[in-house]
Amino acid sequence: MKVLVVGATGGTGRATVEALVAEGHEVTAMARRAGALLGGRAGVRPIDGDATVAADVHAAVRGQDAVVVALGITESPMRVRLRGPAGTPLDVRSRGTSAVVAAMHEHGVRRLVVQSSYGVGETRDLLPLSSRLVFALLLKPQIADHGVQEDVVRRSGLDWTLVQPVYLTDGEEPAARSTDGSVQGMKVSRRAVGEVLARLATGTDDVGRCVSVSGGAPVAVPV
């Protein structure tokens, strides 16, 4: 399949690209510095572009079979909370996803997989108390934009799946998936999440659903 990854140079975006290439898919990797960071990678066509610019997104979406959106802000959450991001719009997730949805309709691409965050939307009330405090004090603007992003996806009319990972790490925590909001731990590796995103984008599982992705030791989930 031909799969576009938007936000391909972030941690999860790169992991998704790697997983797709490993399975033999043709990958287009879009990011502002995709050429510099992913150029020369076998099986990857890098496209330098801004996900909030409609023309850039349309050029990348054209001819694809599926799209994965893994947009985010790489700057320190504390810096973003106190001063705002320096190089990325605070609403990059919702604006970029809106541009992707419009381009997919224009070019007849149906399969959309979007990385959100556990604790947004239908899993909001399932967060442990400690995580609710982190969201409220440190991540509030970014979580709010994830909420807008999820609304865009749900209203898109496409064959969508939302993926909500718990806290991301660079470790080796394996992934556990659920569609009822249950989790097996509050940490999971970016590599494992990338594999989930790639698998969903190239298949038909969980269309119209929100998938929680977790890993590690079991934890109790409030009900």
**Confidence tier at 209 by pLDDT (50, 70, 90):** very high
pLDDT tops 80 at residue 30: yes
Check residue 82 and give its pLDDT. 65
Closest CA to 50 of 76, 69, 31: 31
pLDDT tops 80 at residue 96: yes
pLDDT tops 60 at residue 220: no
- Give the torsion through C-alpha atoms of 26, 31, 210, 192, to 10 deg: 70
Distance CA 132, CA 221 (A): 13
DSSP bridge partners of 188: 168
**Confidence tier at 222 by pLDDT (50, 70, 90):** very low
**CATH assignment at residue 112:** 3.40.50.720
User: Residue 223 domain-assigned?
Assistant: no
User: Residue 90 domain-assigned?
Assistant: yes
CB-neighbour burial class of residue 27 (10 A; exposed 0-12, middle 13-18, buried 19+): buried
pLDDT tops 60 at residue 219: no
Percent of the chain past pLDDT 90, that is, above it, reads: 70
Using DSSP bridges, classify how beta strands 111-115 and 159-165 pair: parallel, antiparallel or unpaired: parallel
User: Residue 221 domain-assigned?
Assistant: no
User: Residue 158 domain-assigned?
Assistant: yes
How many domains does the chain divide into?
A: 1
Q: Which residue has better confidence, 37 or 79?
A: 37
Using DSSP bridges, classify how beta strands 66-69 and 111-115 pair: parallel, antiparallel or unpaired: parallel
Tell me if residue 21 falls in helix, strand or coil: helix
Q: Which residue has better confidence, 183 or 87?
A: 183
Closest CA to 160 of 73, 38, 68: 68
**Confidence tier at 127 by pLDDT (50, 70, 90):** confident
CA atoms lying within 13 Å on the CB side of residue 39: 8
Check residue 111 and give its pLDDT. 98
CB 99 within 8 A of CB 57: yes
pLDDT tops 60 at residue 217: no
User: Residue 222 domain-assigned?
Assistant: no
Residues in the chain: 223
66-69, strands of its sheet edge to edge? 44-48, 26-31, 2-6, 66-69, 111-115, 159-165, 209-214, 176-178
pLDDT tops 80 at residue 221: no
**pLDDT, tens digit, 9 for 90 and up, residues 139-166:** 788 889 999 999 999 999 999 999 999 9
User: Residue 62 domain-assigned?
Assistant: yes
Closest CA to 71 of 53, 49, 97: 97
Check residue 216 and give its pLDDT. 56
pLDDT average, residue stretch 186-195? 94
Which residue segment(s) compose the domain that 17 sits in? 2-214
Closest CA to 210 of 176, 180, 169, 185: 180
Check residue 213 and give its pLDDT. 95
Closest CA to 170 of 11, 21, 8: 11
Q: What is the pTM of this model?
A: 0.91
User: Residue 139 domain-assigned?
Assistant: yes
pLDDT average, residue stretch 96-115? 98
User: Residue 13 domain-assigned?
Assistant: yes
